[in-house]
């Protein structure tokens, strides 16, 4: 079947099998290997991407379900400069092996779009579908908190 997707702001058309998973299209066809595969069963979150701005797990999403949608992967998040969430993860040492990091960042971006000033509890709740095998959760929450503060400063909102 033919599908049309915008991936990281670039339009694409693909011929895919109905069973093709979005993560396989991204990694194998588009070579966007920043989207990782950990569990393949929607539990670890390392395959998280944004579909029309909302975080989804691409390991359990068919490519056909993204037809006519805009997909953002970790590679497309930086626009000229790193996204504030990416900067905060680096500054707060919120990554160790880095395997979970792209998914953590994409889920965090989704959270901050919906809730620009989350509490630590809200951050932890939003990231409960993302697992870090290095158990770096304290620094991950600190990074999301710092990113929220930086993004609020950018738009001139009170911190
Ligand atoms: Fe998709 Fe684990 S690989 S949730
Ligand atoms: Fe290693 Fe999270 S940094 S899995």
Q: What is the CATH number of the domain that holds 21?
A: 3.10.20.30
Measured from the CB, is residue 96 less than 6 Å from ligand 2? yes
Ligand nearest to the CA of 49: 1
Same domain, 7 and 52: yes
Measured from the CB, is residue 95 less than 6 Å from ligand 2? yes
pLDDT digits (tens, 9 = 90+) for 87-119: 999 999 999 999 999 999 999 999 999 999 999
Q: Residue 114: its pLDDT value, please?
A: 97
pTM above 0.85, yes or no: yes
End-of-domain residue from the set 48, 77, 106: 77
Break the chain down into helix, strand, coil percent, rounded to 5.
Answer: 40, 15, 40
Confidence band (pLDDT; 50, 70, 90) for 123?
very high
- Rounded CA-CA distance 50/9 in Å is 12
**Greatest alpha-carbon span in the chain:** 49
Q: Residue 157: its pLDDT value, please?
A: 56
Same domain, 72 and 15: yes
Same domain, 35 and 73: yes
| b/e map 1-19, b = 16+ CB within 10 Å | eebebbbbeeeeebebeee
Best of 47, 49, 129 for a ligand 1 pocket test (most atoms within 8 Å of beta carbon): 47
Domain containing 138 equals: 84-155
């Amino acid at each position: 079947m033919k599908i049309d997707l915008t991936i990281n702001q670039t339009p694409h058309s693909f011929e895919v099998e109905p069973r093709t998973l979005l993560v396989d299209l991204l990694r194998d066809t588009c070579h966007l290997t920043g989207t990782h595969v950990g569990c393949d069963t929607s539990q670890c979150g390392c395959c998280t991407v944004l579909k029309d701005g909302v975080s989804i797990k691409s390991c359990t999403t068919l490519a056909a379900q993204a037809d006519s949608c805009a997909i953002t992967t970790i590679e497309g998040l930086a626009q000229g400069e790193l996204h504030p969430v990416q900067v905060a993860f680096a500054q707060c040492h919120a990554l160790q092996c880095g395997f979970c990091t792209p998914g953590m960042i994409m889920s965090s971006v989704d959270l901050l779009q919906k809730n620009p000033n989350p509490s630590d509890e809200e951050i932890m709740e939003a990231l409960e579908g993302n697992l870090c095998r290095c158990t770096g959760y304290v620094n991950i929450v600190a990074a999301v908190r710092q990113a929220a503060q930086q993004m609020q400063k950018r738009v001139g909102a009170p911190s």
